Amino acid sequence: MYKLGLLYKLAVTLTRQQKRNIILAIDILLIAAAYLLARGVILTDGTAYDGTFPIITDLLALLSAGTIAIILLGLHKIKLNAYQMQGVVESAFVACILFMVGLASALLAGPQGTAAKVFVVTAMTFLIMSVSSRLIMRRVLLYIYDKGNPRLPILIYGAGQTGQQLATALATDDTVEPLAFIDDDRRLQGLLVAGIRVHRPAELNGLIEKHGIGRVVLAMPSVQRNKRNYISRRIARAGCEVHALPSFADLVANSAKDLADTRPVDIDELLGRDGLEEELPGVADTYEGKNILITGAGGSIGSELCRQLLSCKPASLTLLDHSELALFEIDRELRSITEHAQIHAVLGSVTDQPLVEHTMSIHKTDIVLHAAAYKHVPLVQHNAIEGIKNNVLGTKCVADAARAVGVERFILVSTDKAVRPSSVMGASKRFAELLIQDLATRSTSTRFSMVRFGNVLGSSGSVIPLFHEQISRGGPVTLTHSDVTRYFMTIPEAVRLVLLAGSFARGGDVFVLDMGQPVPVKQLARKMIESTGHSVRDKDNPLGDIEIEITGLRPGEKLHEELLIGSDMLTTPHPKIMRAQEKHLSEIEMANALQSLRQAITARNTEQLFQILAQWIETNGQDKIRIVNE
């Protein structure tokens, strides 16, 4: 190790010109060696001339021509760590010059000259020796740098284009050493990429412990933010720093201002409060060793539920989703990061009663997390029949199947839009809540409960991705009303709340997270614009970068959302989680309401559907709601 340290000091103290002179001297020696070796080969072949061979004349010609060619081409100036195909081409060009000069020398010498084949072998031998010597010197030099000056070991998460470019750039760095790739693409696992082996995500902790890795670089710029956040949390739990890397194309192609658009937004600042994810207690005991079904498993909430549940060590996860692509993606991801839990992917709709019941039965489901729903307010408003069919009848199918099979716990994922709803989406979720409350009063084995929260930052269709896209295009940022407010929470907070609801549930509970004060969406838009280095263009700042444009409330959209229907609240084991007591329909009322809904859906009578929703969904058991139909 001491000798390697001396060699390292020697390597770093040599000047650039000294290094060039050393490489030039080695090339000159290789020319002489190649010529003498070629003569030896020819002589052993039995081809020789009587008399004295013009060795000195040939060497003088070859060395002079070779030296001039190397200097003119700058072959000795190419850095060893940058010696690639272009360097090989230039070495081949020098070899050709050696052959032509040697051939000319032989012709001028006449019968006493050296045979032409000697110069053919000389040129080929020099090319091989020149390329090999540089590769060997490069390898030795990297070894000296590696052992003589310990580098920071890192792991690269993502063996795609960005990861490969990073590994290539760091291969000759004297401060950082990439030791392994992690990638969930099974086609890459086990392969060598840029000279580094690609491992499975399940091997992450083992690699960190084996190599003493303290830093992991996420080279996955195209992956969805919630998945990157999940990976970051998993790495952080292993005690490593996490650094996210944008694509090299973005670094090169975009201006400094463009790159500002990719800076992470301070979520706590947008929420107007501190994040609650770390404050919420763990729930592993409730889900450990259980067979769990997640509906809508490919969605924003469903996929995060799957990821967090894996850390609870369940016996199996059954993923149900009607989107083939979404189901494929979450199935592939989960299989790559778990070794203990069985993963079952089921493609189908929650409205398919036989499929849902069969799935629960064959997989012996213990817990159901029902996250499948159509949630985009304007889209559901204009597709009311399908919205009600999926959100109401789909919930009915899953809940009935859970009760029939004897599932232990059923948790419905609901929304603040279900409180005094003015949209079809909100009404459908409130009706789904009423369904679960009704079943909870009649179920003796399954604990039915639900969890209600506000808008989830970063979920598909939420304002954060929408505003970010509009800002990246230069605006304007569209806002439906200047006074609109919403409750916001992060995906991890929402998912932890759902899991806690399952652990606290006694039957018929409505759990609500204390999310602080509602956030003015205009304020959120302004903060997002300013966080990317832009300024807001308005009457006070007419020369600003991006304008906030008011478009008007959409059909069914409320100015302010609420979380509670009544005022009766009960405590739970955690101070940030409340249990609401709310009235619900009787068994007979629910049966009549469902029958009317099915008749309207079968007849595809939207007007009748709206009348039924307004008839049965109440605010506090008194005032009927008004569903906007525009």
Catalytic residues: 417
Q: Are 467 and 270 in contact (CB under 8 A)?
A: no
Q: Are 184 and 214 in contact (CB under 8 A)?
A: no
- Number of helices and strands (H, E) in the chain? 24, 22
Which residues are CB-contacts of 481 (< 8 A; sequence separation ≥ 6)?
550, 552, 553, 559
Q: What does the alpha-carbon distance between residue 328 and residue 335 come to, in Å, rounded to a whole number? A: 11
Q: Would you state the structure tokens that stand for residue 216, as one six-digit string?
A: 């992991």
**Integer CA distances (angstroms), 355 to 343, 359, 394, in order:** 17, 6, 12
Which residues are CB-contacts of 530 (< 8 A; sequence separation ≥ 6)?
536
For the chain, the residue count is: 630
DSSP string, 159-221: -SHHHHHHHHHHTT-SSEEEEEEE-S-TTTTTSEETTEEEE-GGGHHHHHHHHT--EEEE--T
Q: What does the alpha-carbon distance between residue 178 and residue 168 come to, in Å, rounded to a whole number? A: 9
Q: What does the alpha-carbon distance between residue 354 and residue 397 come to, in Å, rounded to a whole number? A: 9
Which residues are CB-contacts of 498 (< 8 A; sequence separation ≥ 6)?
301, 305, 369, 371, 411, 413, 451
Question: Within 10 Å of residue 203's Cβ, how many Cβ atoms?
Answer: 14
Which residues are CB-contacts of 276 (< 8 A; sequence separation ≥ 6)?
489, 493, 496, 513, 576
Nearest CA to 270 out of 464, 417, 135 is that of: 464
Nearest CA to 431 out of 371, 379, 390 is that of: 390
Residue whose tokens read 């090989």: 88
Give Cα 591 to chain centroid, integer Å: 45
Nearest CA to 613 out of 375, 425, 376 is that of: 425
**Integer CA distances (angstroms), 509 to 64, 295, 411, in order:** 92, 20, 10
DSSP string, 29-69: HHHHHHHHHHHHHHHHTT---SS---HHHHHHHHHHHHHHH
Residue whose tokens read 């079952």: 344
**Integer CA distances (angstroms), 307 to 241, 294, 310, 312, 460, in order:** 20, 11, 5, 10, 17
